[in-house]
Amino acid sequence: MHARKMGQSPCASGIALDESTTAVQSMTDDPNANRVIRLLIENELGDSRMRNVLCEALFPVVRELGAGFRKQLIRAMLLVCLASAAVLTPAGCTPLVADGGDDDSDSSVGTGDSLDPGAPPVVEGEWYRPTVQTTWQWQLQPEANGGEVNTLFDVEVYDIDLFDVRDEVFDELHAAGRKVICYFSAGSYESFRDDAAEFEPSDFGKTLDGFENERWLDIRSANVHRIMRQRLDHAASRGCDGVEPDNVDGYANDTGFPLTGDDQLALNRFLANEAHLRGLAVGLKNDLDQLAELVDYFDFALNEECHEFDECEVLSIFIEVGKPVFNAEYEERLVNSEAERAKLCANSLDLNIRTLILPLDLDDSFRFSCDP
């Protein structure tokens, strides 16, 4: 699947107004659902606030349908709400940029499928919602266990890689009553991913410090948004109960792009809402400076080394509304000293944070938990 070039009419990509309407409406006889679907397609869908309001209006109808039928309808609605909506207007299809625009010009960067930093949160729906006391395990690299995820920990949540883990591991964890959170990077390009070829050269920024196979992404790019929607679709189809989008604080790093706080809010709110529309829980990874603006959108926070940098107290904004904070610490002194671990864990339990002491590679070569 290739991205639509900037400046190309979306009509050329095969999105047809009448076909979209017929395909979606044929899936339900409910007149209320059909009415909302028609509004979604015909109204001012270039306005993301209107789009969100209309999309949310459909969900009370969708929730009344049977599970299998509901899943089909949601998938069809994603075509309209999440793909076509940003480029369709009452007149049909319109160009993403003015005629005569240069596909390779700087003016095309971050345009097209622009995101709204003020988009309201999707809060109604059925998805997994962990509690402040939820226990967890985090393993993204399986090398320490002969290439497999260690499924033997008695915890409620496993956070594992979206792409590299076998289906049988998902089945085993679910059979044991575990919830599965799926990791993917939403703000960086990883050369080894299956969908790496779908990114465009203009999406790439600077290399991440310490990660030679990763480059920052232009989070304003319509192509990046499309790929992230596909990754969320993949998470839903694999049976993930939630997702952990990584590298969602690019605006605070040297990415090679002039990203602003609003650019980051727009992406992070987009990721959260898109996850919820697919019935997935979603966690906010780090991004401490925007916690207050994002707490209503996310179901949990995942933080690295807040104890080491004396930043844990700011995460209380999640705990105060009943959402857990999953924390990982990597310092060698915590691995080698039981007294140091005990001191840190006492502080973590006082703050009601779920802290693990883990290897930086997250390969399960060792694990210390502050929870009893």
- Convert the pLDDT of each residue in 192-204 to its tens digit: 999 999 999 999 9
Does the pLDDT at position 51 exceed 50?
Answer: no
Q: Which has more confidence, 187 or 85? A: 187
pLDDT of residue 27: 47
Residue 92 has pLDDT above 60, yes or no: no
User: How confident is the model over 318-336, as a mean pLDDT?
Assistant: 97
Average pLDDT over residues 143-161: 90
Higher pLDDT: 369 or 45? It is: 369
pLDDT by residue (tens digit) across 156-184? 999 999 999 999 999 999 999 999 999 99
Q: What integer pLDDT is reported at residue 230 of this predicted model? A: 98
Q: pTM above the 0.85 mark?
A: no
User: Could you report the per-residue pLDDT of 215-274, keeping only the tens digit for each?
Assistant: 999 999 999 999 999 999 999 999 999 999 999 999 999 999 999 999 999 999 999 999
Residue 84 has pLDDT above 70, yes or no: no
Average pLDDT over residues 350-357: 98
pLDDT, position 8: 31
State residue 357's pLDDT score: 98
| Three-class secondary structure assignment of the chain | CCCCCCCCCHHHHCCCHHHHHHHHHCCCCCHHHHHHHHHHHHCCCCCHHHHHHHHHHHHHHHHCCCHHHHHHHHHHHHHHHHHHCCCEECCEECCCCCCCCCCCCHHHCCCCCCCCCCCCCCCCCCCCCCCCCCCEEECCCCHHHCCCCCCCCCCCEEEEECCCCCHHHHHHHHHCCCEEEEEEECCEEECCCCCHHHCCHHHEEEEECCEEEEEEECCCCHHHHHHHHHHHHHHHHHCCCEEEEECCCHHHCCCCCCCCHHHHHHHHHHHHHHHHHCCCEEEEECCHHHHHHHCCCCCEEEEECCCCCCCHHHHHHHHCCCCCEEEEECCHHHHHCHHHHHHHHHHHHHHCCEEEECCCCCCCCCCEECCC
pLDDT of residue 77: 53
Quick one: 136-369 is in which CATH superfamily?
Aldolase class I (3.20.20.70)
pLDDT of residue 146: 74
Per the prediction, the chain carries an average pLDDT of: 80
Comparing 90 with 212, the larger pLDDT belongs to 212
Q: What is the pLDDT of residues 102-138, one digit of tens each?
A: 333 333 233 346 899 999 999 999 999 999 999 999 9
Residue of higher predicted confidence among 160 and 147: 160
Instruction: Output 313 or 16, whichever has higher pLDDT.
Output: 313
Domain regions of the chain by residue span:
10-97, 136-369
**pLDDT of res. 145:** 67
